[in-house]
Structure 1
Amino acid sequence: MLKSIVKFVLVVSLGCVLGKHVSKDGTDDKMEQIAQKPVCHYSDPGVSGCIIRVAEQARKLLAHGIQSFGIQPLEPLKIPSIRLRQHNMPQNRFKYDAWLSDVSLEGLTNYTFNSLDVYPDELRVSGNISLPHLMMSGEYVVIGEFQMLPVESTGLIYANFTYCTAALEAVGAKVHKRIVIKDANVKMRCTGPVDASLKEAHSTTGEMEMVTKHIVHMHAMELTKEVQPAVETALSMVLEDIANKFLKHVPPNMVFPA
């Protein structure tokens, strides 16, 4: 990930995270069966493998969303707004403010587990998954400056985070007869080149429009790399939200260490 100083504000509306979805293929019933059947227990030496199997079973269900659990569809995952700011750059580099809206992430449920570790005494789970086909799209607005030239552009952005892995960690807490996830964290690492493109670009800089388009296109991959921390924040929020909604339906004797 590009190691430059970026300040961003990720705006995720509560309605998006708690969004409703009407199931048409019985996914709610299937998810409830998975949650209510005590298939995994902390006292089981093979609990990590058991959780992986449940997560694999839940893949298609999570893609469609689960109305009775209040879980939004993950295909695609909708992020209402991402704000990026890059001002701490040398004079000859691109400085900008950027706003991304109606962002969609596709490929989140095309995951495979590389590892999973469960620490019952600490109420902590950590793991690593592969996300080989993670795609992003959305609308963008950029206002900036490049070598004293003003840059203003709007349009559509598309990006392919080629072959990524994500390190996951969730820490729980006991609250009466329940376990809740009090903190979740996601860190992505993409080993392939980030492929980014801008479409339908428009500028308000008049005679500078062609120059502006060239500058913004030239820095499309840089913009996409700087989106990655915001994507990680969104995924952390979604992981925490899904885990807590799932745990609400799980019998206490399934999740408390024996």
Structure 2
Amino acid sequence: MCFVDESEQNSTIDGDNLEEMAKKPVCHYSDPHVADCIKRVAEQAKLLLAHGIPSFGIQPLEPLKVPSIRLRQHNMPQARFKYDAWLTDLTLNGLTNYTFNKLDVFPEDLKVTGNISLPRLVMSGEYVVIGQFQMLPVESTGIISANFTDCTAALDAVGAKVHKRMVIRDADVKLRCTGPLLANLKEAHSTTGEMEMITDHIIHMHATELAKEVQPAVETALSMVLEDIANKFLKHIPTNMVFPN
């Protein structure tokens, strides 16, 4: 289920031949080295995914745009920061700077699992926070940005045969970042009047905590993107290239 010939890896890339590259499946499930083939072509696909493939209906992944994320953290001790937060117009850069650590293909089960490294993910977007810290009200709006470093993503995709087509019925992404998480807030504004300075201090103090809570929502978004991209590619791949004999 791959789509670019190895001979084109070093050719000049532009919008037109990106489209052509995406329409050249070369990996077959009957190949005993199909996992290596998929891995090689997935590495070559970085430019495709970064720029998007309009004829396939695939939007650019650089950046990945997430319209909104809703966060709620109420189950905290009295002395901790409790809040409701809305993050909108989020962008995530760095998704196509991946390298494969592992890839396994299970043809009879129509299943692919893998693990990739993502050295650095950069997130930014607008935020609104309403909360409470040690009985003090916290209200703030502004721009949040965060750098997630030394990340790995575990990928799991399970397919199904529907008539003469292959579809991905379930995709899952688990993101793990072990490097420093750097987060900061810009253009922060508070509506707490005379307590604005205190509120600003509290919200800046908890910026990293807020960014960390975004990770599960990012995993969900990445799972949806993986499933969407895979299914759009599969629509253009002949069935005899997809199903095991």
| TM-score (normalizing by structure 1) | 0.88
- Gapped regions of structure 1 (runs ≥ 5): 1-24
Match of residue 135, structure 2, among 120, 123, 148 = 148
Q: Tell me the residue number matched to 2:4.
A: none
Query: Equivalences for 1:223-238 in 2 at 5 Å?
Result: 223-238=210-225
Higher relative contact order (CA 8 A, sep 6+): 1
Question: Is 2:102 the partner of 1:109?
Answer: no
Q: How far off is 1:54 after superposition?
A: 1.1
2:24 is the alignment partner of 1:36 = yes
Q: Which contiguous aligned blocks of 4+ residues in structure 1 show a shift greater than 4 angstroms?
A: none
Does residue 216 in structure 1 map to residue 216 in structure 2?
Answer: no
Please give the per-residue CA displacement for 1:225-251, whole angstroms capped at 9, x wherever unaligned: 100000000000000000000000011
Contact 2:18–2:53 (CA<8 Å) still a contact in 1?
no
1:171-250 maps to which residues of 2 (within 5 A)? 171-250=158-237
CA distance in 2, matches of 1:169, 1:27: 30
Question: Amino acid of the residue matched to residue 158 of structure 1?
Answer: S
User: CA contact under 8 A between 2:19 and 2:55: conserved in structure 1?
Assistant: no
How do 1:84-95 and structure 2 match up within 5 A? 84-95=71-82
Residue 44 of structure 2 corresponds to which residue in structure 1?
A: 57
Q: TM-score, normalised by structure 2?
A: 0.93
Mapped contact 1:85–1:96 kept (Cα < 8 A): yes
AA aligned opposite 1:30: L
Q: For the residues of structure 1 that align with 2:16 and 2:237, how far apart are their CA atoms?
A: 14
* Offset at residue 57 of structure 1 (A): 1.4
The 3 A distance-change label for structure 1 pair 120 and 28 is: farther
Give the residue type in structure 1 aligned to 2:62.
E
Aligned length: 233
Match of 1:100 in 2: 87
Separation in 1, partners of 2:102, 2:16: 27
3-state SS, counterpart of residue 89 of structure 1: coil
